[in-house]
Structure 1
Amino acid sequence: MPSRSDMGTRRFGRVNWLGLYTLASREVQRFLAVWTQTLLAPLVTAGLFMVIFSIAIGPRRGDVMGVPFTHFIAPGILMMTVIQNAFANTSSSIVISKVQGNIVDTLMPPLSAGEMVLGYMAGAVGRGVLVALAVASGLAVFLGLLPVYPLWALIFATLGAAFLGGLGIIAGIFANKFDQMAAITNFIVTPLAFLSGTFYSVQALPPGLYEATHLNPIFYLIDGFRYGMIGVSDSSPWLGLAVALLSTLAVGLVALGMFRRGYRLKA
């Protein structure tokens, strides 16, 4: 009869599927337990953005790329909300565990570095997709806005949540205090999200800013999601898909290396 320790490390193939599922489930249950903060609050924030821009700019702005201004900015606001929440999910989970001293509960079980990265990212994708569905439902009700290409919209929403979830893992491991995490959010993540064509078409930018925007991977996420929602974009969705996949893979590999080395995780 196998011992308890043997049963705890039993794997199906080379992956500890039970451990991976448990970590992902914990991350999902963590944000569902406070759904008013993690799901309802982003919906209200996105709604406020839409109301403010519609009242302040909408009547005078006219069409953008052949679509009404409110329809143009709606996908950008939705995607910005998704990526901010995906980043917050992984980064806050890791930072809180480090500050409270219980990160060892994640590091001690028989989970590989890759399984930990996937588990955390699964929670970020779950939260991001649920936020996307909530905001999209609001846009459908109040603006009558339905996705033109639903599959494209779903792909970019998922990749956006995965990319920012991986970036959140890196930031969470790097930060040892809440103020360090706040600095990363305020000075890196938020500017990248705002300066990526969320509220405007990059075609209107001067040459220097136009080229700089195309170096921002979040631009391709928002632009690709906009294509899925309203059928127009500043760049090819296929190029956006390639950039999104490579960016997600890159942050995933960096996070993998940090977990393997125990960077800022082990005393």
Structure 2
Amino acid sequence: MPTDAATQQPHRPDPGVRRFGAVNWLGMWTLAEREIKRFLAVWTQTLLAPLVTAALFLLIFTLAVGTRRGDVMGVSFMHFLAPGILMMTVIQNSFANVSSSIVISKVQGNIVDTLMPPLSGGELVVGYLAGGIVRGIVVAAAIMLVMFPFIGLGVQNPLMAFVWVVMGGAFLGALGIVAGVFANKFDQIAAITNFIVVPLSFLSGTFYSLDTLPPAMRFLSHVNPVFYLIDGLRHAVLGVSDSSPWLGFAVVLGSTLAIGALAWWMFRTGYRLKS
């Protein structure tokens, strides 16, 4: 072991100094691994339940409306619904994974175990986002493998579908960080879910095309980033969309970076975390 020249004592590295360059890769990986194992430990709640819910949504809307609705944008109503329901499930689960993890840590008083290690604000954001994104990917894969073959639906562009699922998980995961840091109780995070996340996902073209909306509602849909997530995934799966996928990509990327920057600031300053 190297020694200190003045004292001839073994030189021990400062525990706060990163040992893997400018980024604490080990710390980020450990946080991400913890977040992934957390939802895998209760897979019936975090993975099986969303799959059942998505199947029920598709079944109920198809039986109640599908036979009378006819084709939408040149595809059957059942096929039109499937990508929207998939993305809606992905974003709700990504948000729930991140926000619940932070709120549970705050309520139980062990959030300090996450804040004390030498992790920067950006590294904390990436670690938490990884858990939300992976949960979204696993849920999406389960729906595509189980539900899509059952209704005879394929995916025209699997790579772009994967990109949109990742972007959906990142955007709502970042929003989940902000909500989790802001909320101090479970009823506060439930209110954010019920009054913000659910309306964003339901009023975003999941169950309808924008062509059927009046101008005012159409405008509101175009300022909703979740609309572009659903529309982009629908384009990747079916090849049809209400807007340009490139415009949607730019809107979602900009929104994710903005929310991610807010999440970074919250971790960096300890907002509602250290008091």
Q: Please report the TM-score for the alignment, with normalisation by the length of structure 2.
A: 0.95
Shift of 1:245: 0.8
Name the SS for the 1:15 alignment partner: coil
Work out whether residues 11 and 17 of structure 1, in 8 Å CA contact, stay in contact via their aligned partners in 2: no
Shift of 1:141: 2.3
2:140 alignment partner in structure 1: 132
Rounded to whole Å, the distance in 2 between the matches of 1:141 and 1:150 is 14
Does structure 1 residue 191 correspond to structure 2 residue 213?
no
2:5 alignment partner in structure 1: none
Where does 1:128-167 land on structure 2 (aligned, <5 Å)?
Answer: 128-167=136-175
Name the SS for the 2:97 alignment partner: helix
Does structure 1 residue 211 correspond to structure 2 residue 219?
yes
Rounded to whole Å, the distance in 2 between the matches of 1:6 and 1:71 is 58
1:66 alignment partner in structure 2: 74
Where does 1:1-267 land on structure 2 (aligned, <5 Å)?
Answer: 1=1, 6=14, 9-267=17-275
Rounded to whole Å, the distance in 2 between the matches of 1:261 and 1:39 is 34
Shift of 1:4: 6.8
Rounded to whole Å, the distance in 2 between the matches of 1:226 and 1:76 is 7
- RMSD over equivalenced CA pairs, Å: 1.2
Residue identity in the other structure for 1:109: P
Q: Write out per-residue CA displacement over residues 41-88 of structure 1, whole angstroms, 9 at most, x where no aligned residue.
A: 000000000110111011111000000000001000000000000000
**How many equivalent residue pairs?**
267
Work out whether residues 18 and 118 of structure 2, in 8 Å CA contact, stay in contact via their aligned partners in 1: no
Name the SS for the 2:223 alignment partner: coil
Work out whether residues 32 and 38 of structure 1, in 8 Å CA contact, stay in contact via their aligned partners in 2: yes
Instruction: Tell me which moved more, 71-80 or 131-140.
Output: 131-140
Shift of 1:171: 0.1
Shift of 1:149: 1.1
Rounded to whole Å, the distance in 2 between the matches of 1:123 and 1:5 is 31
Rounded to whole Å, the distance in 2 between the matches of 1:209 and 1:4 is 63
Rounded to whole Å, the distance in 2 between the matches of 1:29 and 1:112 is 22
Rounded to whole Å, the distance in 2 between the matches of 1:145 and 1:114 is 39
Rounded to whole Å, the distance in 1 between the matches of 2:210 and 2:37 is 38
Rounded to whole Å, the distance in 1 between the matches of 2:11 and 2:249 is 47
Bigger Rg, structure 1 or 2: 2
Work out whether residues 217 and 247 of structure 1, in 8 Å CA contact, stay in contact via their aligned partners in 2: yes
Rounded to whole Å, the distance in 2 between the matches of 1:4 and 1:82 is 46
